[in-house]
Structure 1
Amino acid sequence: MNAEFLGALEDLEREKGIEKEVLLEAIESALISAYRRNFGSAQNVSVRIDREDGEPHVYAQKEVVAGEVTDHLLQISLEEARAIAPGALEGDIVELEVTPKSFGRIAAQTAKQVIVQRIREAERGIIFEEFSGREGDIVSGLVHRTEHRVVYLDVGRAEAVMMPNEQVPGEVLRPGERVRAYVTEVKKTTKGPQIYVSRSHPGLIKRLFELEVPEIHDGVVEIKAIAREAGSRTKVAVWAANPDVDPVGACIGPKKARVQAIVQEIRGEKLDIVRWDPDPAVLVANALSPAQTVGVTLDPILRLARVVVPDNQLSLAIGKEGQNARLAARLTGWKVDIRSESQVEDGEW
């Protein structure tokens, strides 16, 4: 260890943002353990690295005693102490340099270990700060591998984890494939930041719309609600404060370009964009799109919407296995009961 070593620490401070003094103090602490481990000393010691030439020095710390010295490792007589420090008094602690000749090699090895560890910790901290601020955002990554149904994505300087319950049913992600995923959580662990992502989260749809539709990004059009059954169908309710702006048209885009870009990213998942309305009856009717409705009656106590549709629209309104009605209910927050005109005429309600 020499002056070049100190210069290297200054370079690290500039490049990695790790303070030189913090590194030196960490190395000094590690060198105390290294000294005791290699030289088996039971005495109290301190280690200081010379800030000018980078050389380490080991000092034995001993208590000044006026009487007989009973432990030569931990005590020093008053006479000996005053030969080192003329003003020493009983009970003071004086230091004697005990640096071994071979200590420079041990110090260099220890310093390297400490620096590598601190660099790793600093990089982990930087990565954590970067991704913790991206919770609720989209990351783009390459599929790295799949283990026990868990998908790992390479997202740059870190690896993201997609658990089975956050994957889209039926979607196969192959190694080397680039996909977008929604960051659900970033945890700090002993092995570095753990980034959890999702392809099934409704937030992925919201962020994709914000990226593809300038009016949403600028706040001209607002996404009011999203109901999603990943891999199958999603309904999005949009609204614009300006009556001259068509929120649905803005989301679809010229020649359906905007919505097609989103559908392509979610691998062909059906996407219904409906107009949000402050009137729950109108909102429920819109939410059942692409089915047409004849009328909607609300029961505020039960929070139930009774919907009448033309006979030829009943199956469309309900959807396959009730999916359309189920998503409409989740989108609006109202339970939805659908009947055809013929059923109403027959007195089913």
Structure 2
Amino acid sequence: MNAEFIASMEYWEREKGLDREILISAVEDAMVSAAKRAVGPARELRCEIDRKDGDIRAFASLIVVETVTDKQSEISLESAKRHKPDVQLDEELEVEVTPKNFGRIASQNAKQALMQAIRRAEKALVYSEFKDRVGDIVSGEVRGFDRSDVLIDLGKFEALLPNRERVPTEEYQRSERIRCLVKAVQGSDSHSEIILSRRDTDFVLKLFQLEVSEINDGTIEVKGIAREPGFRTKLAVHSRDEKVDPVGACVGLRGQRVKNIVRELNNEKIDIIRWDTDIETYVTNSLAPAQLKRLEIDHDKKRAHILVDPDQLSLAIGRRGQNARLTSILTGWQIDIDPEEEVRVGFEEQVAGAVEALAAIPGIEKEQADALVHAGLLTLDALVGVEAEDLAEIPGLADHAESVQAAARAEKERRAGSNPNPLTGEAPAAEEPTEPAENSVPETGAAEEAAPTKEAE
């Protein structure tokens, strides 16, 4: 057992980096209980393991007396002089009290004590090695599972990826290598445990620091980050150097930088947002590519009420409200998104408009225009195309049919003369003017001026 014991000490020291002296001292302390059972309650009993051959011996501190009354704590002067010739009465003398066959008895306890000492030494080594590495990314191999927790082999140490720190969309296989963030080192010198995480936002932030040199050296600053692990992450960046495009630097040439991070996150979507001091611009950038119609900002309550076209509502809110929720987390503002109600002209308003248009023609009174509209003649073109006999059949126009028709034709000729069509020589209908879509240019410009947002899937 002695040679085996020494060999095991050398193994743990070589393979795990554990101090052999600490292990041997721990086993010595554990042997005292075995020695007490074999020797009895001797005074100041201790055990010692020879560092060369592994022999285990027990020692007790006895008081030198003339006549022994307690064998457990006293030794006669005559016996004491055999160990130390110049010993005096009442002097304490350490004497070996190793019982017969103590090695066999001690070997059983030594194995158990050794394993306990190894575990304690490993915990202490874990704490000393990792207490300053919280926030770093480490790579390890999936060793096994404890219910929903994952055991990760980091080489000399074993770490734990708890279920609460796992990404819900990820599944792991034995022997698979994964990268994790060191979230915490729990415990103390005697009992420590490395806690890893893949769902923490700092994990994504650290990946960007490793991948994007401009973030690592401080040229680009990450102003905010919001994440729903496994689904989407929004990252707001700002450049301290005007010559450096923060979004482009994070995306990389042909998107290579962000692709590497997306691959590590198992195809989690990443939106890189240009940060801005103006909250309206910041919110607009964060909700892109959705086009916003109007923003109502309440600085006191830190609330932004956003109106969008109905066809942009689902894009702005995102699946299950994800886009709006992440924007709220990223900006720190409450985000409310509603569709802008379309102004619809009702039937009565349309009738009133047609009456006003016909009544504006010189020679046609409002009562006559009302009768014409209710008869189905809503436009000047429709009125010109009707004969006077047909107009006379309309109630209220029997005596005014010819004058109404004449007024309509005169107005038609007047409009044709003032604004002739170069192709047909006819004037366009007054009530249906054709004008350029004035809103199309500003909308395009606004879209072009919006800060670029890169999404990697």
Please say if 1:32 is aligned against 2:32: yes
The residue aligned with 1:304 is 303
The residue aligned with 2:437 is none
The residue aligned with 1:123 is 122
Note if contact 2:124-2:189 (Cα within 8 Å) is conserved in structure 1. no
Question: What residue ranges of structure 1 are gaps of 5+ in the alignment?
Answer: none
Distance in 1 (alpha carbons) for counterparts of 2:24 and 2:148: 45
SS of alignment partner, residue 286 of structure 1: helix
The residue aligned with 1:282 is 281
Distance in 1 (alpha carbons) for counterparts of 2:85 and 2:9: 33
Offset at 1:330? Answer: 0.6
Segment of structure 1 superposing worse, 77-86 or 139-148: 77-86
1:286-333 alpha-carbon deviations (Å, 9 max, x no partner): 211222334434212211112344554333112222221111011000
Change (3 A) 1:131 1:65: same
Task: Give the TM-score, by structure 1 length.
Answer: 0.79
Distance in 2 (alpha carbons) for counterparts of 1:146 and 1:3: 36
Change (3 A) 1:342 1:2: closer
Offset at 1:129? Answer: 3.1
The residue aligned with 1:161 is 160
Matched letter for residue 138 of structure 2: V
Change (3 A) 1:302 1:128: same
Note if contact 1:3-1:52 (Cα within 8 Å) is conserved in structure 2. no
Distance in 1 (alpha carbons) for counterparts of 2:128 and 2:189: 15
Change (3 A) 1:164 1:75: closer
1:271-290 alpha-carbon deviations (Å, 9 max, x no partner): 11101122222222221122
Aligned length: 342
Which structure carries more strand by proportion?
1
Distance in 2 (alpha carbons) for counterparts of 1:25 and 1:282: 66
Once the two structures are superposed, the pairs formed by residues 1-349 of structure 1 within 5 Å of their partners are 16=17, 18=19, 20=21, 22=22, 25-37=25-37, 39-44=38-43, 45-48=45-48, 57-65=57-65, 69-76=68-75, 84=84, 86=86, 88-90=88-90, 92-100=91-99, 102-103=101-102, 117-188=116-187, 193-310=192-309, 312-342=311-341
SS of alignment partner, residue 216 of structure 1: helix
Matched letter for residue 243 of structure 1: E
Matched letter for residue 35 of structure 1: A
Distance in 2 (alpha carbons) for counterparts of 1:4 and 1:341: 82
Note if contact 2:120-2:190 (Cα within 8 Å) is conserved in structure 1. no
Distance in 2 (alpha carbons) for counterparts of 1:228 and 1:4: 54
Change (3 A) 1:105 1:344: farther
Change (3 A) 1:14 1:290: same
1:79-135 alpha-carbon deviations (Å, 9 max, x no partner): 765775645244x32334434454566667766765565444333433343334332
Offset at 1:252? Answer: 0.8
Identity %: 44
Matched letter for residue 136 of structure 2: D
Change (3 A) 1:122 1:164: closer
SS of alignment partner, residue 292 of structure 2: coil
Matched letter for residue 98 of structure 1: V
Distance in 2 (alpha carbons) for counterparts of 1:175 and 1:52: 41
Offset at 1:232? Answer: 1.9
Greater Rg over alpha carbons, structure: 2
Question: What residue ranges of structure 2 are gaps of 5+ in the alignment?
Answer: 346-457
Change (3 A) 1:98 1:145: closer
CA RMSD of aligned residues (A): 3.9
Offset at 1:75? Answer: 2.8
Offset at 1:73? Answer: 2.9
Matched letter for residue 232 of structure 2: R
